Amino acid sequence: MVRNIVILGGNSHPKLVDSLCNILGVPACNRVLGRFECGESRCEIKDSVRGKDVYIIQTGFGGNGAKLNDHFMDLCIMISACKTGSARRVTAVLPLFPYSRQPDLPYHKAGAPLYKTPSVDSSKKDYTFESVPATPGPGLPKSAGLTNGTELTSRLKSTLTNGTGPSAAANGKSTGEGYFPVNGVDDTKGANGVNGANGVNGVNGVNGVNGYVNGINGHRGHSSSVSSQSAKYTTHDYENVSLITSFQARPGYKQWVAQAGTLVANLLTCAGADHVITMDLHDPQVQGFFDVPVDNLYGRPLLKRYITQNIPDYKSAIIVSPDAGGAKRATAIADSLEMDFALIHKERRPTKITDRQNASMMLVGNVADRVCILLDDIVDTGNTLTRAAKLLKREGATKIYALLTHGVFSGDAISRINASALDKVIVTNSVPQDEHKALLGPKLEVLDISPIFGEAIRRVHHGESISVLFNFD
Amino acid sequence: MSAEMANEVKLISGRSHPELSDKIAKRLGIEVARTISLNYSNQETSFTVGESVRDEDVFIIQSTATGDVNEGLMELLIIISACRTASARRITAVIPNFPYARQDKKDKSRAPISARLVANMLQTAGANHIVTVDLHASQIQGFFSVPVDNLYAEPSFLRYIRENFNPEDCVIVSPDAGGAKRATSIADHLKTAFALIHKERPRPNVVGRMVLVGSVEDKVAILVDDMADTCGTLVKAAAVLKENGAKSVLALVTHGILSGNAIETLNGSCLSALIVTNTVPLGDKVERCPKLRVIDISPTIAEAIRRTHNGESVSYLFTHAPV
């Protein structure tokens, strides 16, 4: 039983709120939190918070009948209500920090999804790691999941014949133009305009590959084939396709995407948050956006415990980081468990000027006949992860685990993972996982973070050091 | 920096009300800036800038679409902050319908003053100036430490009444005590009678008993209010006015939020017409409700933008509606 503390839960993760209250031995604060019919948030805090230490639990995840931005506004309104209600201190607890991921991969650096243009040897019967499994789009009948690429290969062929020719022709003129979408953005990936810019791809002839690749304008008009159907939808299925297709940056201006990380940090402090507790920030630099203390907890101990307790003969397994950015995270665990480490590297150095969009993935390290453990902080659309899994399988991995802190599984991630070479996906409940669990079944395993957060809240409340949580095993 | 350097109006449109932005842009004779807002599949909002705003006078037009208030607000904040990062000279948020304007006071213990929160958020994001229309309570201007231009739909309403009715036959009615000032101002300008309906409101969005103060017999009763949300108040008020002998009842409202079952409520009511401005995107509501008529407010907003940009006085617009 902790005194003088108020746990106020948002609507984004009621289960976590319940278990935190259980751990701390206090009832959750009585509140009304909903929405007026006009769409404005409605918040009434029923219990007194005067002079109390208030912890507001809201994760950065859209769900439970509201969108991500609704939850975020709710959080700000709750913070502000507690502040005006004379709370002594208000701490925002955000297990998953919203807008923390500065869009990198699979986004283009200008914010667009990055469609890899693999160098495919179309005569190869084996499936390639570069190809992305076809995923159904909204309103389309679901296609059967891909099984090891036999079907894919035929698709690749058809796309190659259909797609590349016209796209190469159409895009030839844009090669020198870099980012400016002179081609008019294509309705298929529509995506964002930036793609149109990748005109470069079409030229290489080898590209085109599966439906996802930037066949760019080439795919337009092939509405009958399966591959062009899947080409209509991308890892990031933007809502308003007609709007996107009409968008073009002003010639001579390189378009860019706003980064909301600093803004979100400022908004939280402006609402009145005195302290922020979060977990496994995608960029630890986000901590520096705040003027108030930020405690960035680690999911690492949980993941480590899972490895040691649930993976048979883990010492002979190998830890793999799916991209260079996560290498530090992965090596930290590999070191402390004295395991081997491998890295998947995305080669993006241009070999020739027309080739600069061509990235290839390569594996640094040997995974043949070994169990692989992919480690990352977040799975969103699952693009990076499933592609990494394919590469590992191709390199001879026997079994592939993926351990992640935040399982967002947005867009078509679930079907993508179901169709992938991943044998097991382990995530924490930093966002609600019930729905994902129902869809992924035994493939998904969920670790409970509430003990970590409960302990952090208890220690912060009592003014004890929480650094012990950072290196506890 | 030389004073001759180009410093132009950049009009950026959020997703909530592109029609209004287009009208304003047309009126100003400029193009809406090339930007695009999207939602990633994880529901985070992303904003792409497709042209330079460096050292420009940026006006961001974002209304609040009914049901999507928070989305629109976050998008607006992200756009503002993006423009600030991109070195805009001045950032003016044009918010025709100010979100959370009704949550403007601590009327209960621990009630959030969300309007102030929104004001703080806008300033935190980097807005240098706010332009809005018919704030629910003009005190909200005090929540800001940057200038707020609160435009009025009143001149447009006055013109509409003069064009369509004989002011002698009309009575201006305020549906609640809070709106009495707004209604009396219109009544004074038209030199007509004024009446007021007193209502008891037990809970939000629920309408209690209503009492008419004043006479509406054999007159055209014109209800005047700043927003029509669920329309419960308006429809009940209309019924009270009919009971008290009004010839016909219509309503002039600035913000047609019309959430929930508002359209059905209106269609089944004794209101002969509901006239709103286009501060809020109406979608297909005009088709669904034959009683709904729309006054275009874009000339007023466009003129305010022009005057703000040129450093001219805006107060002329408080009494005159541009043609």
Q: What is the pLDDT of residue A248?
A: 81
Question: In sequence order, what are the beta bridge partners of B292?
Answer: B274
Per-window interface: A 253-292 vs B, CB < 8 A: 253, 255-260, 262-263, 266-267, 270-271
Q: pLDDT band for A147, please (50, 70, 90 cuts).
A: very low
Q: What is the pLDDT of residues A91-102, one digit of tens each?
A: 999 999 999 886
Residue A252: its pLDDT value, please? 87
Confidence band for A381, pLDDT divided at 50, 70 and 90? confident
Q: Distance of alpha carbon A141 from its chain centroid, rounded?
A: 25
Local confidence band at B233 (pLDDT 50, 70, 90 cut-offs): confident
Which of chain B's residues have a Cβ under 8 Å away from the Cβ of A253? 50-52
Per-residue pLDDT, A324:
85
Q: Answer whether B38 sits within 8 Å of A110, measured CB to CB.
A: no
d(CA B296, CA B282): 12
For residue A267, list chain B residues with Cβ-Cβ distance below 8 A. 77, 121, 124-125
Q: Where are the alpha helices (DSSP H) in B148-291?
A: 154-164, 180-190, 232-243, 262-267, 285-288
- B199 pLDDT band (50/70/90 cuts)? confident
Instruction: Flag if B45 and A260 touch (Cβ within 8 Å).
Output: yes
Q: How far apart are CA B302 and CA B59, in angstroms?
A: 10
Which among A45, A69, A381 has CB closest to B45?
A69
Record the tokens describing residue B1, joined without a space: 């920096």
Cα–Cα distance for residue pair B258/B251, rounded to 1 Å: 13
CA atoms within 13 Å, Cβ hemisphere of B72: 30
Pairwise CB contact (< 8 Å): B42 & A62: yes
pLDDT at A245: 64
What is the per-residue pLDDT for A13?
95
Cβ of A253 within 8 Å of Cβ of B109? The answer is no
Banded model confidence at residue A423, pLDDT cuts 50, 70, 90: very high
Higher pLDDT, A436 or A139: A436
Query: Is B125:B77 a contact under the CB 8 Å cutoff?
Result: yes
A77 inside 8 A of chain B by CB: yes
Residues A463, A379: Cα–Cα separation, whole Å: 34
A227 token code pair: 């591959």
Average pLDDT over residues A383-389: 89
Distance CA A217, CA A197 (A): 11
Mean predicted lDDT score pLDDT of chain A: 75
pLDDT tens sequence across B263-289: 999 999 999 999 999 999 998 999 999
In this model, does residue A387 exceed pLDDT 50?
yes
pLDDT of A103: 56
β strands within chain B, DSSP E: 9-13, 35-39, 45-49, 57-61, 90-95, 129-133, 148-151, 170-174, 193-199, 210-213, 220-228, 248-256, 273-277, 292-295
Residue B278 and residue B295 in contact, taking contact as beta carbons nearer than 8 Å: yes
Residues of B in contact with A256 (CB under 8 A): 48-49
Please state, in angstroms and rounded to a whole number, the distance separating the CA atoms of residues B246 and B20. Answer: 35
Which range of A24-28, A173-177, A241-245 scores highest in mean pLDDT? It is: A24-28
Q: What is the pLDDT of residues A427-436, one digit of tens each?
A: 999 999 999 9
- Residues A362-373 have pLDDT tens digits of 888 899 999 999
Contacts of B117 in chain A (CB under 8 A): 76-77, 80, 271
Rounded Cα distance between B143 and B140, Å, is 5
Per the prediction, chain B carries an average pLDDT of 92
- Check pLDDT > 70 for residue B216: yes
Q: What's the confidence (pLDDT) of residue A289?
A: 93
pLDDT class for B227, splitting at 50, 70, 90?
very high
Q: What pLDDT score was predicted for residue A40?
A: 94
* Out of A44, A76, A381, closest to residue B117 by CB: A76
Q: Cα–Cα distance between A54 and A454 in angstroms, integer?
A: 14
Kindly report, residue by residue over A11-26, the tens digit of the pLDDT: 999 999 999 999 999 9
Q: For residue A170, what pLDDT is reported?
A: 39
Inter-residue contact A130 to A165 (CB < 8 Å) = no
3-state secondary structure A219-233: HCCCCCCHHHHHHCC
pLDDT of residue B139 exceeding 90, the answer is yes
Task: Provide the pLDDT for residue A250.
Answer: 86
The percentage of residues in chain B with a pLDDT greater than 70, rounded to a whole number, is 96
Sign of the dihedral through C-alpha A82, A83, A89, A94: positive
Q: How does pLDDT run across A271-314, given as a tens digit for each residue?
A: 999 999 999 998 888 999 999 999 999 998 999 999 999 999 99
Confirm or reject contact between B146 and chain A (CB < 8 A).
no
Q: Tell me whether residues A270 and B85 touch, CB distance under 8 A.
A: no
Report whether pLDDT(A383) > 60: yes
Q: Are A317 and A370 in contact (CB under 8 A)?
A: yes
Question: Which residue has better confidence, A175 or A259?
Answer: A259
Strands B90-95 and B35-39: unpaired
- The confidence score (pLDDT) of residue B120 equals 97
> Nearest residue of A to residue B259 by CA position?
A38
The per-residue pLDDT for A51 is 94
Residue A136 forms contact with B (CB below 8 Å): no
A255–B38 C-beta distance less than 8 A: no
Cβ-based contacts of B116 with chain A (< 8 Å): 80
Q: Which of A69, A74, A244, A436 to mutate to test the interface with B (most CBs of B within 10 A)?
A: A69
Question: Hey, are the CB atoms on B70 and A72 less than 8 Å from each other?
Answer: yes
Residue that wins the pLDDT comparison between A126 and A9: A9
Provide, rounded to the nearest whole percent, the portion of chain A with pLDDT above 90.
52
> Chain B: nearest CA to A466, how far in angstroms?
31
What is the per-residue pLDDT across A64-107, written as a single tens digit (0 to 9) for each?
888 999 999 999 999 999 999 999 999 999 999 999 886 543 33
Task: Supply the pLDDT for residue A225.
Answer: 32
* Best B48, B95, B102 residue to mutate vs chain A (most A CBs within 10 Å): B48
List all residues of chain B from 7 to 66 with a beta carbon under 8 Å from chain A. Answer: 15, 34, 36, 38-52, 64-66
pLDDT band (50, 70, 90) for residue A247: confident
Which chain A residue's Cα is nearest to B36?
A247
Q: CA-CA distance, A147 to A153, in Å (whole number)?
A: 11
Chain B residues whose CB is inside 8 A of the A42 CB are: 204
Inter-chain contact B67–A38, Cβ cutoff 8 Å?
A: yes
Q: What is the mean predicted confidence (pLDDT) over B101-130?
A: 94
